[in-house]
Structure formats: structure tokens, C-alpha cells
Amino acid sequence: MRIREIWLKNFGRFCDRRIVLHDGIQLFYGENEAGKSTIHTFIKGMLFGMERKRGRFAATDESHIYEPWDNPNYYAGTLRFESGGKIFCLQRSFEKSGKNTKLFCEDDGEEFSVENKDLDMLLDGLSVSSYENTISCGQLKVTPDASLGMALRNYATNACAQDKGDIDLNAALARLKDRKRDVERKIKTCLDERQKKQEVTEQEASFVWADIHKCTEQLNQIKEELAIRDAEVKEKGKLPEKDTEASSEWRIHPIELVGLLFLIVLPLFLVSRPWNYLMAIIIFLCALIYTWNRMKVSKQQEKTEPEILLEEICPEEEKVSREELIWEQNRVSGELKEKKTQYENLKEQLEDLDITDDILTSLQQTREAISLACAKLESLSRELRKQTDQMLNGRVSEIVCAFTGGKYERLFVQGDNQISLLTEGRKIRIEQVSRGTAEQIYLALRIAAAEFLYEEEFPLILDDTFGFYDEKRLENTLKWLAENKKQVFIFTCQKREEETLQKLDIPYTMTIV
């Protein structure tokens, strides 16, 4: 990709400013606050857009900072670039009222859709984060952040798959881990539900067992009471036989009646008046009482066996008859049988709960498969990262060796941009070198990473990057850039870059900002 022209129609301090860009090294020279960073930000905004922040962060976002000084309602620009041998024109507006972006090919007039990722395709998948960590180096931002290491890990997988756009290692691992967490939540839910169901079933079984015990006790009590009743009836059944046949016919014998009548009449003849009548009346009353008592005893002797038993039953026994006891015995026996059947069913349910169901088995197998996939992917990642690190270290070492004139012959990048150097047979950390050397190393890392991550070669954009370089290393760096990069934009407020280029007889283009 080559940027051929930028047109700041109304952006920051610039209004209708056109700048034609060429291959090789192009210097953007200007004093402080001349607008160099504005042009740098304009290129980024044209390629990726400028999102507006909300709330208290709105005042510090780039979209707000670089609003046009004159006529803020018109906020737009155009960028022309070459890709794949064709010239494309990208037009953007950054107005608050609404954003409008157009992309078309100047060679054949074909229009493209930025919303449908056509621009991303032309940029070879270059993202804002990768842009800021590789080809674009802002003021005092030469050190790349951790996202560069992440992008390099993804590159290792992409390179292995020979498909740069389809695989994102970190995203794949994140999706697998999210899926694993989701499966584990489902497993936990299944286990909790099973545990809850088991507790409810066990509690219900305990209640049923208590009912069985209660019914058994009731049944035993009824059987005992019936046995006692039967024994009492059998004992009471041995009643005395009647004395004579006459007693069964007469409740009081006629001879007794004649004797009583004689006793009543006798005083009338033996006792003088009026005492004879009184005495007869008294004897009559006594005979009447005697006769009544004899009639009562005789009637009691003629009662049937059940009547006698009913008279001897206590009040509590009168409330529950033998038939009622038998009916209660049958009822309790039926209930006991039903409770035992219910208890057996609950025991079977508990046994079934102890057996892992198909859903839980499937979830556990899925979790194991995901864990295995994560382990394999992480193992592959480590192996590919090791291979990538070796290639990256080799390329960065070549660039750093050129920048430093061979002082540092070998460089090692480990983890997320943890860098060590080999010099004069000893290994030192990047924190032990000077600021200028560290910035050279980070610049080399950016350049090498861009070469690894993207097939398309992008312009290298450097904004006041060489402030800590000594003269010799500045010469080495500019010479290497001129020989190895097709398009380099250098924003500077000093003359030393131009003087060094003239000293080395390196062609360049100067743009006064």
C-alpha cells in the first residue's frame, strides 16, 4: 500500500490543504504546534475513522481535539492510496450530525462499502491497535503495548493455517473457555437439581417410613384389642344353666303368691280393729315389694348373652364395637400396604438418582472435550509461538544490528515484548541500555512485526522518533530505512534528519507544515 495524496478539507487547523506523497523518505518539517501531529492523526482517522466518546471523556478524544478551527460543522477529508496496482479514493466526514464514508476505485469507478469491510480487505486486516503498534509511531510512543504480543501469537496460528484472516488464537481460546464455563454452569445446575430432588425424595421417604411405622403400631394395637375382646367373650360365654323348667315358665311360683295372700288376710282375723286393717295393708305392701324384686331378678336371668356382655362393657368399649375394630383393621392394613408400595417407589427413585443421567453424561463429556481442545490449542500455541519467536528474533536482530552498527549482534523477544540483547558475549536486559538504544530496538521490533503480520507493505510513519538517537545511529537507521522501506513519513521539528539525508546522499521529499 502506498499513500499518494491527503486532502485535509477541514481538519484541525488545516482548511483545504492538499499534500502529495511520494515513495521513499518524505520529511514533514515544522516547528512545534505547526500541525505535524494533526496530519499524523488525520491519516489514522481517514483509515480507521474517529469515534466520539461520551460524557466526561468527550472533551479529550481525538474527534473533539481535532475539530476544525473554522466552520466546525464541516469536518471532512480525502485520502488517495494505491493497493494492488490500483488507485483508490477514500472520503470521510467526521461531523457530529452524521458520518459519511465513500470508497471507490479511480481506475474503473467501482464503488466499495466500508460498512461491509471492503476497506479492511484492502488494508489486509490492519486494525487500529496493530497500526499504532507497528507502522505508526507517535510522539513518545515508540514502546509497543501488550496487544502486539497478542497479535504475534495470533500470527503464529494464522501462518500455520496459511489463512491470515480466519484464525484468531486468543479469540478461539476465549470462545473455548467461555464454552467450558457455560458447560460447567449447566453441569452445576444439573447436579444442584439432582441434589435438591434427592433431598426432597429422601425427606418424603422418611415421612412415608414414619407413616408405615405408625400404621404398623396401630394394626398391632387393633389385633391385640380384638384378641382381648375374643378372650373376654369366650370367658363370658360360660353362663349358668337354668335351675328348673318351672323357673323358665314362672317368674314367681303360685305357692308363693298363695302364701303372701294368706299373710295379708291373717291379721284381719287375729288383730282387733282398726289395727287389723293397718297391719294387712303393711303386709300387702311388703308382699308387693317382694313380688317386684322377684320379677326383676327373674327378668335379669332371662337376658341373652350379648345383652349381659353389653351391660358389662365399659364406656370406652361401648364407643368402638368389634365390627368397627375389624373395619379399622382392614383400613389400616390397606393403608400400610399402600405406604409400603410408595416407599419402595421412592427407594427406586433414589437409586435412579445415583445413576448419572444422559444429559449430565453428555455435558461432562463435552467439558472434557473442550478441556482437551484448550490444552491442545495452548500446546500448539506454545510451539508455534516458539517458532515465531525464533524467526522474529532473527529479523529483529538483523535490523538492530544494522541500526547499532553491529554492537548488538543478537536479540531475544520473550513473552509479551520482554527483550534481552546479546553483546560481547553477555546477555543484558533492555532496561539496562540507554533510552536511544531502547527506542531503536522497539522500532526494529515494530518493523519486524509488521513484516510478519501483513503481506501488504504499509508506509512507515514516524513522529519525532529520533530525538534520542546519536548521529551515527541516526545515519545507520535512515540508511536502512531508505534501502528497505518503500515509503517512510518522518515528522520532525529538527533539521538533523534532513542534514543526515543530505550527508548520506539519500533522496527524500520535503513538506513544510
- State the DSSP string of 273-305: TTHHHHHHHHHHHHHHHHHHHHHHHHHHHT--H
Average pLDDT value for residue range 10-29? 94
DSSP one-letter code for 1? -
**Predicted local confidence at residue 382, as pLDDT:** 75
Copy the grid coordinates of residue 482. 531508505
Break the chain down into helix, strand, coil percent, rounded to 5: 60, 15, 25
In this model, does residue 300 exceed pLDDT 90? Answer: no
Q: Which residues is 488 bridged to in the sheet?
A: 25, 460
CA angle 152, 157, 160 (to 5 degrees): 120
Nearest to 392 by CA among 148, 111, 98: 148
Determine which of 48-62, 284-298, 345-359 has the lowest per-residue pLDDT on average. 48-62
**Predicted local confidence at residue 246, as pLDDT:** 41
Average pLDDT value for residue range 29-47? 91
- How far is it, in rounded angstroms, from Cα 153 to Cα 452? 11
Average pLDDT value for residue range 113-127? 90
In this model, does residue 168 exceed pLDDT 80? Answer: no
In this model, does residue 284 exceed pLDDT 80? Answer: yes
Average pLDDT value for residue range 204-220? 92
Are 38 and 14 within 8 A, CB to CB? yes
Residue 458: alpha-carbon gap to chain centroid: 42
**Predicted local confidence at residue 245, as pLDDT:** 44
**Predicted local confidence at residue 243, as pLDDT:** 45
**Predicted local confidence at residue 354, as pLDDT:** 66
- Which of 71-75, 137-141, 304-308, 410-414 tops mean pLDDT? 71-75
**Predicted local confidence at residue 386, as pLDDT:** 76
- How far is it, in rounded angstroms, from Cα 501 to Cα 358? 75
Are 388 and 152 within 8 A, CB to CB? yes
Are 122 and 88 within 8 A, CB to CB? yes
Determine which of 130-134, 422-426, 444-448 has the lowest per-residue pLDDT on average. 422-426
Over residues 430-449, the pLDDT tens digits come to: 888 888 888 888 898 889 88
376 burial type by CB count under 10 A (0-12 exposed, 13-18 middle, 19+ buried): exposed
In this model, does residue 363 exceed pLDDT 90? Answer: no
Q: In this predicted model, which residue has the larger pLDDT, 295 or 192?
A: 192
Are 336 and 216 within 8 A, CB to CB? yes
CB neighbours of residue 47 within 10 Å? 21
pLDDT band at 145 (very low <50, low <70, confident <90, very high): low
Average pLDDT value for residue range 147-167? 54
pTM tops 0.75: no
In this model, does residue 317 exceed pLDDT 50? Answer: no
**Counts of helices then strands in the chain (DSSP H, E):** 16, 14
**Predicted local confidence at residue 51, as pLDDT:** 78
In this model, does residue 461 exceed pLDDT 90? Answer: yes
Average pLDDT value for residue range 233-260? 62
